[in-house]
Amino acid sequence: MKINNFNNFENTETLPMNNKYIDKMSTEKATVTMIMNSEKVIKSLMDSNKYISIAVDKIYKILKSSNSGRLIYAGSGTSGRIGVLDAVELLPTFGWPSNRIDFVIAGGINSLIKSVEGAEDIFEDGFNEIMKKNCNQNDVLLSLSASGQSQFTVGTVKAAKKTKTFSVGISNNTNSQLADSCDLFIPILTGAEILAGSTRLNAGTSQKICLNIISTLVMSKLGNVQNGLMVNMIPSNKKLKKRKKLINNQLKDLD
């Protein structure tokens, strides 16, 4: 699905207005400025609610149709780390099987804790990582890139198309290779960062919220949420064992 109805006057690299130079402000004014600037995150997500909702329904239908289909996350840098963060929470939160979750990140697993410069520029790495996963029509690929131009991420989507894997592209710019290559594109137009080009700020925050919504609602539709409760959570520590007991008692009271 292509996006034609957004007027994107700012991209993630646009320079901030001179009245928003946080390095020229007092600490209190700078914190207020950053907080107010974050309002753009919610607005941009609301503007794209239709596309997020379509993604939820489509992903649910694909994963429900098979007992082996996977949810696979892909990205580079901040976007890749955000994808991994969402992926690893699905087992403890929803009991979603670990063999039905996967991710690829530019630079490999080491890039989770250390920047691997230049990794995002290698199209073939992204393409080959997805091809090695033996993806098919039962799988879903969620590819994230703030600019939409990360060649690693574009490569993952191109591989998905080759393997008939449904791909969702999430980006903070509209005019991009990612938007042109994926099956469903979700634009989250957060615009200029308060620190020019630092997409770990509004862009990263918006991507995390978007994934929160998608994965939570997909898992809910798959039966892992009842009455707002995490009914299939994995109680792996004292706190979670106590929570699981409370959930079970609450469910008994509702019967």
CATH number at residue 144: 3.40.50.10490
Q: What is the pLDDT of residue 8?
A: 45
Whole-structure pTM value: 0.92
Q: Is residue 88 part of a domain?
A: yes
pLDDT tens-digit readout, 168-215: 999 999 889 999 999 999 999 999 999 988 999 999 999 999 999 999
Q: How confident is the model at residue 6 (pLDDT cuts 50, 70, 90)?
A: very low
Q: Strand 229-230 vs strand 225-226: parallel, antiparallel, or unpaired?
A: antiparallel
Q: Are 173 and 11 in contact (CB under 8 A)?
A: yes
Q: Is residue 6 part of a domain?
A: no
Q: What is the pLDDT of residue 10?
A: 65
pLDDT tens-digit readout, 26-51: 999 999 999 999 999 999 999 999 99
**Segments forming the whole domain that contains residue 27:** 18-227
Q: Are 160 and 131 in contact (CB under 8 A)?
A: no
pLDDT tops 70 at residue 25: yes
Question: Would you say the C-alpha torsion 113, 118, 123, 125 has a positive or negative sign?
Answer: negative
Q: Supply the residues annotated as catalytic.
A: 89, 120
How many independent structural domains does the chain possess?
1
